Amino acid sequence: MNTVPLPVRAVMSSISTEPITPLLENRNLPAGKVELGRRLFHDKRLSADNSISCASCHDFAQGGSDGLETAIGYKNQRGPLNTPTVFNCSLSLAQFWDGRVASLEQQVSGPVHNPIEMATNWPDVITKLKRDKAFQRAFVKKYPRGFTEATIVDAIATFEKSLLTLHSPFDRYLLGDPSAISDDAADGYQLFKNLGCISCHQGSAVGGNMFQKFGVMEDYFCGEEANALTNKGRFNVTKRKSDLHRFKVPTLRNIALTAPYFHHGKTKTLREAIAIMAEHQLGTDLDETEIALIEAFLISLTGQIKKEWE
């Protein structure tokens, strides 16, 4: 199919007309609590055998994911789903692929209690943390109640809210720098919009703000796969037939860093993922040139990963 070229070097007069908006820093987060949350995010004492931290599965060097098909947790148990990126997670309408919790605060306890992830509980975690007197003193300065489930959860969630990957080439382009992205990336963005990808992937997170069926135009799941628990998506939460095979639309920010793709983690390359989305969500087949253009656009969504998060 023919693409409609974007005037590549034209400066956008108003970003408000674009369906994608730049990421902006959250300046309302208390720095002290962010730092405590950072320490807890990397603390392996949150797992039963002190072997796994939040950062074990949400590796910043892997785009906030783990680079695996599905996550590996306590005693090398393999989880059923691909690990979503933690970057920009505060912009999602809900957490987890099936959206079973509404907030980051609700999400934090899930992995801690999950027997194949961290396999522990808050009383045991708190007991271990209290033995660290220096950390406890630092913690009490910001949380006078000390280590409790609520304060630990708040600190980790506050840190996660800071994980906004600003200053991507595409954001700089939206903000008026016409040289921030290549001609191919700009043409890929126009094609992305023309095809209708933008109907699910828009806003500041370029996704994450709705649930959508995997297989809108052509069924993606067939045979026994269609009935597998992990493929039922939001249906597992609501039990509504209309939610069968519906998942939270993932953010496309930093997507070039977070292979493999989709909830099952079986799609190894970004180009393959683009072709699958075109076929099953849009009912169209893309040629290699079109796939390459969209890939160039998606690569331009890679933002800044701050060293101080590590």
Catalytic residues: 117
**Which residues face 174 on adjacent strands?**
none
Alpha carbon distances (Å) from 295 to 130, 254, 281: 48, 12, 17
At 82, give phi and psi (nearest 5°).
-70, 145
In whole angstroms, what is the distance from residue 157 CA to residue 282 CA? Answer: 35
In whole angstroms, what is the distance from residue 187 CA to residue 59 CA? Answer: 32
- The single residue listed with the structure tokens 């209708």 is 196
In whole angstroms, what is the distance from residue 42 CA to residue 61 CA? Answer: 14
In whole angstroms, what is the distance from residue 142 CA to residue 104 CA? Answer: 20
At 271, give phi and psi (nearest 5°).
-60, -40
In whole angstroms, what is the distance from residue 153 CA to residue 125 CA? Answer: 12
Peptide bond into 30 cis (omega under 30): no
Q: Which of 75, 259, 298 has its CA nearest to residue 168? A: 298
Secondary structure E strands in 187-289: 211-213, 246-248
